[in-house]
Structure 1
Amino acid sequence: MLLKIWSKFSKSEFSRNVSSQILGTAVAQALPFLATPLLTRLFTEDDFATYTSFFAVASIFGVAAGGKYHLALVLPKEEKDANKIFVLSVYLTILYAIAIALFLPLFHSFFPENLSSVLYYVPLYVLFFGIWSAYINVSIRHKTFKTNAIAKVLQAIGYIVTAIGLGFSKIWLYGLVIAKISGICISWLFLSKKSRTRFSLVPFRSLKSVAKTYIDYPKFGIWPAFLNTISLQALVLILTKYYTTDDLGYFGLTLMVLSAPLALIGASYKDVFYQKIAALMNEKRHHEALAFFRKSALALIIMGIPICLVLYLFGEPLFGFVFGEKWERSGLFASILAFSFVVKLVASPLSSIFNATNTLRTASKWQVLYFISTFATLIICASFLKFSVEKLLFVYVVHECILYGIYLVLQYKTLKDSKVI
């Protein structure tokens, strides 16, 4: 019986798409992970601290790239409308990157001295990331998940080759930062070559109709995502301000390693889940959508628990063995964060429910709650109570489990109450 069920599942289009995404992302995550033991020996704690701070700032600014219109690319029934959304997203990304380049230097004094100079790379990252995101969502619309998978692998290879080259040569500052930008640029160029959709210059006025139809994406998507990204980077920002550069560097490696399984399982699942759940809702197959949501949540829990246990039980010695003894502290951080990892792994991929059901207002309310509670908790613990890093992380884990538990309940309730998009 179990073999029959597995055989049926493995032959379905959804399972093939998930397999393609997971395989591609597995390779894309495995390559940097395999290279990290070398990178930890080529770069110092300060280098990892700089990269971690840069990526936190770049991620925050990156959420508004394209006005979030790229997330609507899977929804239009007509291909011509999807093409207009794609062009609109690229236009807005370019304008936004230029605006960041012009105005971000005015605020360098608000950032730590060791970070201010690397901020000049932020507009370049945002530009490539925004265009890359548009192409990724075009690929999701056309169900070319193998192309997505290859693009992610190329991004990883570009990052690794650049980082190792700069690490050995020592000819350029911020080697990890430049490697990150190089990787995403290579991936974008590959996607643009393989995509059925071609960018072409069209008048802004011809894009007004789709901009108005999907106005909820920038209107209700940017600020919640902006707040969410700041919240996700809250630990980095707090560690940058209140703790030592070494602690930030150690946490940077922890974050890099924990991001690998989150991207492998979570991000891969999210892309295919979004396409599938949107199709079910478009076809008004409401009960099937609910069943699919429950099965997806259970599958993510089953995949996350073994990783959580390994990190919790063996994090410190494992990091010391793989990355070098000086990085054992990163393993200690990973063991503390293990349980928050599981709740994020389950709730984050399923959050595309709000996009598929066009109920971004519900998501935005949770994002505001998450933002306020995260910063209030961390600032009180770091600034007023003067907690050690370890204590701060314990409090953070409790907070994450509660807030993401609420998020998961909201996702299910939103889907249950939504009959049509």
Structure 2
Amino acid sequence: MQKLENRARICLLLAAVLFLGIVVFTWRLVTHGAEWATFYGNTQIYTNGMINRGTVYDRNGVMLMQCTTNGVVYPESSTLRMATVHAVGDPKGNMSTGAINMWKGGLIGYDFLNGTYDTTKDGKKITLNIDSSANVAAYNALGSHNGVVGVFNYKTGEIMCMVNKPSFDPLGSLPADPNSSIYFNSFLQGKMTPGSTFKLVTSAAAIDYDPEISSFSFTCDGVNYYRGEKIACTHAHGTSDFERALAVSCNGAFGAISREVGAENLKKETEDCGLTSSINIDGIKTTPGTFEFPTDNDVKLSWAGIGQAKDQVNPASMMVFVGSIANGGKAVQPSMIKSSNIIKKLSGGKSLGNYLSEDTASQLKSMMKNDVKVTYGESNFPGLDIYAKSGTAEVGTADNNGWFVGFIDDPDHPYAFVVWVEGGGTGYQVGGPIIRTVLNTLIQNN
């Protein structure tokens, strides 16, 4: 009798292990099935190492890439190919952020019940949020400069434009090394010295943590000294209050504001604004920014609050941050894949939370409009209700890198933007004309 009971226990234990194994396998099949099905050894969906089915379109139905058994087909225009390759990807899938690599399961038409079975053998279509005409406009506007242009809808999260230079023609000669820098997507994977664009974060910290900021005043002589250390400006700005200090981008003034706010508050504000976090964009993880706000060195703290020192920011994260200013402090998760969800279009994209309070966002918005009026010139952006902040990042080379970030207040076209131009010099002078061209193209097409 005892032997029968022991055998029964063993059988029950084996049944339990079997059941648990089935549960684990089913869970892994559901969560990793697409990854298993798109393994490169699957000759049904790969020809000569390349996906042989699926098509990628832009938001307006322009074909950007078609995978066939005879190879990958791209548009006839080489400029269009180079302007969209960082979104679409290269034939070999070396670009980790490209659609051909990131969403291959969607291209081949994988689903849980049928796997990769497809009666047409043409695969499925993926529609990206980008407007290819805006990408071409951005690519051309960058001219001979390398750089980044990104635009997204700060209500729905749709990434309308994403351009990186240097770029390459996917139909041209490709580097054999899959780790070549030519495949690097600076908009999503890069991080750069933000220069004076970071003064928006310092301003937010001042609004939140310095009760005396409304009475702030600073007199800039062009070369300002603190404890014997020089904090230089482009020229003498004279006496400025808080709002004017941002408009003229006075380093001396913002060094003083940074010291008043303090290292811990600057650190917290930077984290609250999402600049030290990675953002998940349809499975693509952006590179988090890195910052140091020393508590024992006020001079280094001053430069950190100005946007220099060891500050490093990701362009996509900066775009989302300025979008939150436009959106009453609410940050929206960016997306590359176009959604047919009507509820999302009506209620907005997925929330990343409140980066700022509504009052802080409102004050920053007003200050950014003042930037345009005082420094950048509203006449340079006809027809655009634009709010912006420029930056000139000193990186130890002969030519500084230029930034121009901001948004437009337009209910039909709620777009936030980031422009970074390597060696471009003064941010608004190089970035302003670029984003004006891109925004006008987006408004005309959408």
Shorter-chain TM-score tier: under 0.3
* Highest RCO, 1 vs 2 (Cα 8 Å, sep ≥ 6): 1
Higher helix share: 1
Higher strand share: 2
TM-score where L is the length of structure 2:
0.27
